[in-house]
Structure 1
Amino acid sequence: MKPFHWESTHGNFGDDLNLWLWDFLLPGLRNAHEETLLVGVGTVLNTEILPADGRKLVIGSGFGYGSLPDMGDSSQWDVRCVRGPMTAQKAGLPVEMGIVDPAVLVTEMPEFQNLSKSGRRTFIPHWESAAAGIWPEICKTVGLSYLDPRGEAKAVIREIATSELIVAESMHGAILADAFRVPWIAVSSSRSINSFKWNDWARSLGVTYAPKHIPVSTRAEAIAKGAKFWGVGFERNQQAATDLEKRRHGGTVLLADPEQTTLRVMAKQALAMPSALALWQASKAKPQLSKDGTLAACKERLLNVIEGVRRDYL
C-alpha cells in the first residue's frame, strides 16, 4: 500500500508529511496490499488529483477543490473517515465519519515530543503569499518570526511546535499549532484562501474560522491572487499563479518587475506598510485553541479507525 502524496511543485509541508506519517501510524503498510492507495492528509478528494483507477483507502482526507469523486463503489473505495463534517456531508457520509485532519497525530511521534519552547511568535503564510509577497521583511518590522510553508515538513513542524503563538494563513499551520497546544490566530490575504476546507477542520474541533484580513504585500501577490493592491483590483492571472507553482523554494518572486534597486526595494517596503500594520494588529488579537477534551476525543476516534485498518489490512 502506498500513501498518496500530492507533490505540488511549490512544496507544502501539509502535503509532504504523508511521506512519513503513515509509516509511523501503520508500520509495514508499504509491503501490504500493493493494489490499494492510501489517501490521507490533504484536500485531495478531487477527481483531478486522484488517479481514476485502482482501489483507494481513505483516512481523514478533505474536499475543497474540483469535483468530489463518486466513492459509492465499495469494491474500489474503502472510506474509513474524512477530515470534517462538511466533507462528510458533501460525500453523503454520516456526519460522525468527519473526525479530524490526520495531521493531528504527528504529536504522537516521539521525535516531536518534549520539545523546548523557543518563545517565538510565528507567522506562517499560505504558499502563494510566501512565493509572491515580501512577508519575511514585514515580519521583521512587526516582531514576528517568519516560517515558510514550503520548507522541509519536519523542520516546519518543529518551528510550529516550539512557538508560543502561531499567526496562520496556512491551514495546516493552524492544525499543527492546535495539535501541539500552541494558541493560533487565523488570517487571510485574499479570497483565494479556501474557507470550505478551513471550516471543515474547524468544525471538527469546535473552533471558529474567522480570519483577520491582511492586505497583499506586493503588486505581484495581487496579480497572482486576484486581489486589490492600494485600491487597484487585479483579476487573478493564471499564468502568474502557474509561474509561482514552478518556483518551489525561491525567495520573493517578482513577476514582470524591473531590476530591484535600493530605492525600489525601499518603495516596495513603503507600499507594504498597510500589510505590516494589519499583520501586527492581527497578532495582537485573542488567539484560539480547541478544548483539550475535544482534541483528545477526536484523536482517540481517529486512532480507533487506524487500529481497524491495521486489523483489516496488515
Structure 2
Amino acid sequence: MTTYGYSLLSEQAPPDQLVADAARAEEAGFDFATVSDHYYPWLTAQGHSPYAWSVLGAVAQATQQLRLMSFVTCPIRRYHPAVVAQKAATMGVLSGGRFTLGLGAGENLNERVVGAWPAVAHRHQMFEESLEIIRSLLDGDSISFNGDYYDVGGAELFDLPEATVPVAVAVSGPHSCALAGEYGEAMVATHPDPDLVRMFTEAGGEGGRRYCQVPVSYGPDEQECRRVARDQFRWAALGWKALSELPDPPAFETATQYVREEDVAAIIPCGPDLDQHVAAVAKFRDAGFTDIALVQVGGDRQREFLPWAAETLLPALRNLDD
C-alpha cells in the first residue's frame, strides 16, 4: 500500500507556519510529513530556512498520528554524526515512535558554513563512516570510534525510543544503494528510477520503504502556477552535480537565470488539472516507491493546496491502489 506525505519545505516558510501546516496536513489525511534540513534556501526568493530539528520537535507535539521524517539530514560537516544520532533518538521519543531519520551526503549550499566543502570522494567516505556511527548508537550500543574522518570517544545514548529509529539513506547509484541496504531500513531518491529500487532491494533492502518527493504547483490559474514554480523552483532543473556543488542562493540564481517557465512546467505539474498531478505521482508509484511526499510550491499557497488535497488529490491517488 502506497502512503502519501506532505513536505514541510523549510526553504519557503517560517517555522511557525511549518508547524501549523503540519497539523493541517494531518487533518487533511496525509500519512506522514517530511522536513527539509537546510541552512540556506535554494533561491533568495524562497526567503526562509529555519532549524529543521526545532520544527520537528514542535510538529511532534502538534500532531498525533502523522509520521515524521528528516528529508534529508547531512551528517558529515554541519552536524557530527554522534549528535545526529542523539537528535534522532530524542525525536523518536518525542514523537512516540513516529520518526524516521533520513540521511544524505549533502550540498555545499548548507554545509560550507562550517568549513570547506570536501571533494566528492572524501564526502562519500565521510558519509559511510557517519552511517556506521549513527547506526551503532541508534541500536543502543556504547561505542568508541576512530576513523579517517571522525573520532567518537565512549558515546552512548541514554534516551532511546522503545523501537529503534528507522534510518532512510538517500541513493543515486550502486554504492549508495549498497549503503542503504547495509545501514538503513529505507531508501530515499529524487527520480522515478526502478533500477534504484532494484539495487536497494538486492543490497539487503528487501521489504524496506522507498521514499521520494514530488513537487506540484496547484492552483486555479495555470499561468500563475507556472510563474510561481519558475520563481521558486527553477533550481530543480539543474542536475545533481550542480545542486551539490553551488555555494549559495546568488550562485543558484545565476545558474538558473535562463531557465524558462516551460522548462520548469515540464518537470513540475502546474495548475488545476488533477490528472496532471496524479500522473506525476504515478511515475514514482509505478517505479516501486512506497512513500511519496508532495510539496506544494510556494509558502503562501499551502492553504489552498491542503483542502484540495484532502477533497480531491488524496482520494484520486489512493484509487491508484485499487
TM-score tier by shorter-chain length is 0.3 to 0.5
Higher helix share: 2
Higher strand share: 2
What TM-score do the two structures reach when normalised by structure 1?
Answer: 0.33
What TM-score do the two structures reach when normalised by structure 2?
Answer: 0.32
